[in-house]
Amino acid sequence: MATATTIDDRSSSEEVQVSNGAPSVEGTQKPKKKKTNKKKKKKVAKIETDSAEDSAAVAPIEPAQITPVVSAPSSNSVRDLEELLRQLAMPRDKPQQKSMEEYKFWRTQPVTKFDEKIDDEGSIDAPKTPDEVPDHPYPLLKEFEWDTLDLNDPVQITEIYDLLYANYVEDADETFRFKYSPQFFDWALRAPGCRPEWLVGVRVAATKKLVAFISGIPMHLRVRNTTLPSAEVNFLCVHKKLRSKRLTPLLIKEVTRRINKQNIWHALYTGGVILPSPVSTCRYYHRSINWAKLNDVGFSPLPPNSTRAKMISKYLLPAKTSLPGLRLMERGDIDQVYDLLVTYLSKFELAQVFEKDELLHWLMHDHGLNGKSNDANDPDRVIWAYVVETEKGAITDVVSFYKLPSTVLGNAKHDSINIAYSFYYASSVALEAPSRADVAVTAKLKARLIKLFENALILSRDLDFDVFNALTLLDNPLFLDELKFGAGDGYLNYYVFNYKARPIAGGLLPDQSLDVVNRSGVGAVML
Ligand SMILES: CCCCCCCCCCCCCC(=O)SCCNC(=O)CCNC(=O)[C@H](O)C(C)(C)COP(=O)(O)OP(=O)(O)OC[C@H]1O[C@@H](n2cnc3c(N)ncnc32)[C@H](O)[C@@H]1OP(=O)(O)O
């Protein structure tokens, strides 16, 4: 899942419900629609028919329970970033308010309970075989039917796009929307080994309209010393008109069934929502690149004590990159990049264990493949990876970011905001000591990452990105402050299905500020 955010500054106790708001950094507060929690009388349709554990399906969760809530910011908060995130990002729920018992679906699933004491890490369910898994999908009401989405069919890619565009994440005023592209789905969902049947859709039987979706792709997940064949589950979406009707539990059970049929019993997933129970929680940080544009579209109000010129100059970056040997990654780099990145990721407690072809896919997609050029300026490009190569041809660093823009509706000057998300990176400096706790190497790594990400920001600016987002995972706490990333109060929770694990650091201290000493144990970057 992409991002979640709310407002950083908790000085005000007022809570304003927004889905995703317009961004603003360090600015004055943009008036927001204040929603009340009026219960709308809704006709409730039960979509599933035989779910014993989710028999509460007839009693819908009130929308208020899943509406992201933010604290109103004060004028000196990093609002432009915050708000921008909100529209970029995943919706966020209120802080966890439900007890375990109230999670009528999740309390039935093999997940860690809140406050569960974990002595031994390991699978929750007893081992099963695919034969024990039902062969047929879970029943739906006759008005709906299951489908498998085919990414080879441009029409079906467009259907996923349309569903997510209108229903995935947007701001309260419906001004900003994720602007997925067919290329993005091709990259995100067509990972090596992907199973067509793990792209699960629900259609209206009569019209065949796609009204819900969930996806899985295969991966190997390492939790500390244990590597689990797993699925990465993402892009869960239910059409707005079908919300609170308990379709989500069915989608999750159906994708679980299809994944279990492949003898896979674990999954990694993320969300802004609090579910039982996060193994880690990271925080969003945002770095304005094109402050003037963010201001033009109303995302970044001018702080009362500042001027437009001051704000623009605050976020100015050097004219050119400064790392000698920095260049776009090529397919021939994969052996060195693989060794570097895999060794770096082995230092983290939660990480994907990549095969070489997987890493190549995630860092390069199809660029430089089958006659397709490896052009940084390809307008269809969604992932950029850069390497730093010495004169002797040794690759010492790799850094990457992906693109997920947002449409701006109703603005005369700009129709979209271009957003870069930090993805995988590694530096050979990190490998100079066996332990991440080594103080001297950490200081050296900090200096190197500041340089590496300053260069990534310059490249992003030259590629016309307006803002650069990063979480507090990996070693990111070492460079976020220094490079003028602003703290979001959007948090991304990491979950592992059917696996008990002790908590993993998310790069944050108890007061939610950056833990620049210990950093994060999370080495898995999710879309
Ligand atoms: C081994 C293989 C295992 C594979 C499976 C691994 C698990 C994968 C898990 C999925 C990972 C997805 C990763 C991503 O893609 S995260 C992205 C989620 N998508 C969005 O936020 C897009 C906009 N929102 C929507 O489309 C809907 O609001 C959704 C679909 C989110 C909920 O629709 P609705 O509001 O109409 O709800 P309901 O009446 O159908 O169902 C209510 C139940 O659903 C639980 N709920 C609500 N939100 C989420 C959520 N984000 N993850 C898991 N569960 C969620 C909720 O607690 C309640 O259960 P309980 O509280 O009663 O217990």
Residue 247: CB within 6 Å of ligand 1?
yes
**Nearest to residue 474, comparing CAs of 498, 501, 446?**
446
Which residue lies with its CA nearest to atom 22 of ligand 1? 168
pLDDT of the chain along its 527 residues, tens only?
Answer: 554 342 232 222 222 222 222 222 233 223 233 333 333 333 333 343 334 434 323 223 232 222 222 222 233 333 443 343 333 333 334 455 689 999 999 999 999 999 899 999 999 999 999 999 999 999 999 999 999 999 999 999 999 999 998 888 766 567 777 888 889 999 999 999 999 999 999 999 999 999 999 999 999 999 999 999 999 999 999 999 999 999 999 999 999 999 999 999 999 999 989 999 999 999 999 899 999 998 898 777 788 999 999 999 999 999 999 999 999 999 999 999 999 999 999 999 999 999 999 999 999 999 999 889 999 999 999 999 999 999 999 999 999 999 999 888 888 899 999 999 999 999 999 999 999 999 999 999 999 999 999 999 999 999 999 999 999 999 999 999 999 998 877 899 999 999 999 999 999 999 999 999 999 999 999 99
Residue 67's φ and ψ, nearest 5 degrees, are -85, 125
Q: What is the rounded CA–CA span in Å between residue 159 and residue 182? A: 10
Ligand 1: does its nearest atom lie under 6 Å from the Cβ of 198?
Answer: no
Pocket flag, ligand 1, residue 194 (CB < 6 Å): no
358: nearest Cα among 383, 375, 338, 373: 338
Q: Taking the model in full, what pTM does it have? A: 0.86
**How many C-beta atoms lie closer than 10 Å to residue 503's C-beta?**
14
Q: Is 7 in the pocket of ligand 1 (CB under 6 A)?
A: no
pLDDT score recorded for residue 26: 30
294 lines ligand 1 (CB under 6 A): no
Which atom from ligand 1 is nearest to the alpha carbon of 215?
15
Q: Is the CB–ligand 1 distance for residue 237 below 6 Å?
A: yes
Query: In this predicted structure, what is the pLDDT of residue 105?
Result: 97
Q: Given ligand 1 and candidates 66, 140, 404, which is best to mutate, with the most ligand atoms within 8 Å of its CB?
A: 66
Q: Which ligand 1 atom sits closest to the C-alpha of 260?
A: 1
Q: How far does the centroid of ligand 1 lie from the alpha carbon of residue 406, in Å?
A: 22
Report which protein residue has its CA nearest ligand 1's atom 46.
248
CB of residue 45 inside a 6 A radius of ligand 1: no
What residues contact 267, with CB distance under 8 A and at least 6 apart? 216, 230, 231, 232, 233, 256, 259, 496, 497, 498
How many Å apart are CA 274 and CA 87, to the nearest integer? 19
CB-ligand 1 contact for 61 (6 Å cutoff): yes
Task: Give residue 495 CA to ligand 1 midpoint distance, Å.
Answer: 12
Backbone angles phi, psi at 38, to 5 degrees: -60, 130
DSSP per residue, 220-260: EEEETTEEEEEEEEEEEEE-GGGTTSSHHHHHHHHHHHHHH
Q: How far is CA 436 from the centre of its chain?
A: 25
Q: Which amino acid is residue 155, in one-letter code? A: V
Cβ atoms of 335 and 67 within 8 Å: the answer is no
Proportion of the chain in helix, strand, coil states, percent, rounded to 5: 25, 25, 50
Q: How far is the CA of 248 from the centre of ligand 1 (A)?
A: 5
Known catalytic residues are 527
Backbone angles phi, psi at 145, to 5 degrees: -145, 150
pLDDT at 41: 30
Nearest protein Cα to ligand 1, atom 61:
103
Q: What is the DSSP string of 292-321?
A: HHHHHTTSSPPPTT--HHHHHHHT---SS-
* Cα–ligand 1 centroid distance for 236 (angstroms): 6
